[in-house]
Structure 1
Amino acid sequence: MNLHDYKVTMIDGKTKDLAEYKGSVVLIVNTATKCGFAKQFSQLERLYEQYKDNGLVILGFPSNQFLNQEPGDNDEVLTACRKNYGVSFPLTEKVDVKGADIHPVFEFLTKAKPGLLNESIKWNFTKFLVNHNGDVVARYAPKTKPEAIESKIKELLEL
């Protein structure tokens, strides 16, 4: 299994087959607009704008599993991301990134790259970098700023 074997429901309710990202480098992030790390939205957007034409996709998965930091519905999440942070990269519907109802993509990601103590996502803005073949190549902690990942993204994009 790899990332390309999954489908997700986007924030607008449409289904997206992640096989469409074959050949792209994908950075997956669990997000929350009311999190202290939310300023990373702007940094992620900068990376997306800079490298999307070279094959980078950033895919945000909003989640409300950490201290109620994403309480709104999908429309509210989308509005906050666009208005407050200028986000244009794709977002999915709100999902669970851990626990009994974990989204299948996050089950795949966390098994491929477990955290320090266990597989589970510990907080918002955990990041997973996936190569053009759909394989998870790295996991980054929430405190890791997106620009710290830029050199690895460029390496995978062969820039």
Structure 2
Amino acid sequence: LFAGFWQLATAGINRISVAQPASKMFPFGRRVLGGRAGATVGLLGTAMVAINLLASPAGVAACFSSAPPPSVRGSDGKPATSVYGFTANNIDGKPVPLEQYRGHVLIIVNVASDCGYTDGHYKEFNQLYQEYAESKGLRILAFPCNQFGGQEPGTNAQIKQFAEGRSVRFDMFAKVDVNGDRAHPLWQYLKQRQGGTLVDAIKWNFTKFLVNKRGEPVGRYGPTTSPLELRAELEKLFAE
């Protein structure tokens, strides 16, 4: 598998257009994948991120640059010091200042309706919400994203309908990009504060960030970590 990634990252770039939709290159979806195959998809996501970076001079420079990245600016134009400095549109298009979550422990996650992880994650997020929202103040902020395998192609209205069909109780936001020049500033900030393996870019759907009661990102978990596996870390944050 890794040998295949290496071939893609070297000779393969000359044959594959990085502009080609990932869904055509790696057509994995909710109906195809089970949970056991999910790790492979996560690795493919890492490979796709690497390919896109290596195909761009700016991306290569970013990988090997020792200069610290510029501070991400919040909605007020000032360098952000917590997630409270950002505003994001909810699934209905209404601006939501994240200041309203001050004092709450947060899980911030990029989601997709047609991913192999969707059913399990939505079910377990609902479990966590039911268990901790009232008693501990947990809030879950879900951001739909279509950057991984084209698995969130619908409109915000369609995404909302899909979520309602699964009795989603947590907060759904409007569809955003989490990587690239168009990445939402909140997601730029999350990646800067909690970097990833090899590169800081989000690798696949359902990358989860834990945020403490002060609005500081303190943990990052990939899609192979289930929401219920976060219980121990959540309990520590609730106790702070």
> Which residue identity lines up with residue 202 of structure 2 in the other structure?
I
Corresponding residue number in structure 2 for 1:97: 178
Corresponding residue number in structure 1 for 2:95: 15
1:116 aligned to which of 193, 197, 216: 197
The number of residue pairs the alignment matches comes to 158
- TM-score if structure 2 supplies the norm length? 0.65
Corresponding residue number in structure 2 for 1:106: 187
> Which residue identity lines up with residue 37 of structure 1 in the other structure?
Y
Alignment of 1:73-152 (within 5 A): 73-83=155-165, 85-152=166-233
1:3 aligned to which of 58, 83, 91: 83
Deviation at 1:57, TM superposition (A): 0.3
Structural RMSD (CA): 1.0
* Higher RCO structure (Cα 8 Å, ≥6 apart): 1
Alignment of 1:35-74 (within 5 A): 35-39=115-119, 40-53=121-134, 54-74=136-156
> Which residue identity lines up with residue 85 of structure 2 in the other structure?
D
- Alignment of 1:27 with 2:107, yes or no, is yes
- TM-score if structure 1 supplies the norm length? 0.97
> Which residue identity lines up with residue 83 of structure 2 in the other structure?
L
Unaligned 5+ segments in structure 2 are: 1-80
Equivalent-residue separation in structure 2 for 1:82 and 1:118 (angstroms): 34
Unaligned 5+ segments in structure 1 are: none
Give the number of the structure whose residues are more often strand, by fraction: 1
> Which residue identity lines up with residue 69 of structure 1 in the other structure?
Q
The runs of 4+ residues in structure 1 deviating greater than 4 Å are none
Give the number of the structure whose residues are more often helix, by fraction: 2
